[in-house]
Amino acid sequence: MDTRAFQRTTALLLLGLITAGHPLQAAGRLLLLGDCAVTVHTYEMRRDFTEMRQIMVNEDKHISTRLISKQTMKELQPLESCCFLKQLLSFYVERVFSSYVPNQSQFRRNTSNLANSFLSIRNDLLKCQEEMRCECGADSEARLATIHANYEKLEPRDGAVKAIGELDSLLEWMETYGDGRK
């Protein structure tokens, strides 16, 4: 092997190691939802959310109500998952984040970062929908209707606090959906 080839190989190996160490930070995760593929920056969303979760959970006054849990996304079929996620992110962008204005400017940055991340994924999903690769069926419509109905029962700010506190389940789903699928 000549010197230049050796250097190039070493550089590629190093690059591989660096990328392997930070796969989520660098590239995001490719989320496969039926016929639609979108990149989700789960690392950034987690970073914006982690501390906020506890604050929201502490502020939540309606402990017995649940809007979104792991159960909400359980056994969601790949063909329904695209449309489901699109509608759920729209719900967060249009209703939840707009009803909750944190009184501390530091949190405002976090919620606006999260809202922007959601908006960007939602827009990618809209492109799939325009190409007819993202159709809602009865199952996802029913799941979404339940979320909306429970949200309507709460005051807007109370509902928003709860919905943000429960984002953990949605983030976890985006981090793991499709793992182990062949």
Please identify, using beta-carbon distances, which residue of 29 and 41 lies nearer to ligand NAG: 41
For ligand NAG, the binding residue among 51, 94, 131, 155 (CB under 6 A) is 51
Q: Which residues contact 169 (CB under 8 A, 6 or more apart)?
A: 68, 69, 70, 72, 73
Interface with ligand NAG, residue 92, by CB under 6 A: no
Report which residue type is found at 67: L
**Cα separations in angstroms, 151 against 58, 63, 148, 155, 162:** 18, 13, 5, 8, 9
Binding pattern for the stretch 100-129 against ligand NAG, x by CB under 6 A and - elsewhere: ---xx--x--x-------------------
For ligand NAG, the binding residue among 31, 52, 170, 174 (CB under 6 A) is 52
H/E stretch holding 83 reads helix 78-91
**Cα separations in angstroms, 90 against 1, 60, 98, 180:** 55, 22, 11, 28
Please identify, using beta-carbon distances, which residue of 110 and 117 lies nearer to ligand NAG: 110
Give the integer Cα–Cα distance in Å for 123 and 146: 24
Distance of closest approach, residue 181 Cβ to ligand NAG, in angstroms: 31
Binding pattern for the stretch 20-49 against ligand NAG, x by CB under 6 A and - elsewhere: ---------------------------xx-
Task: Write out the residues near ligand NAG by the rule CB under 6 A.
Answer: 47-48, 51-52, 103-104, 107, 110
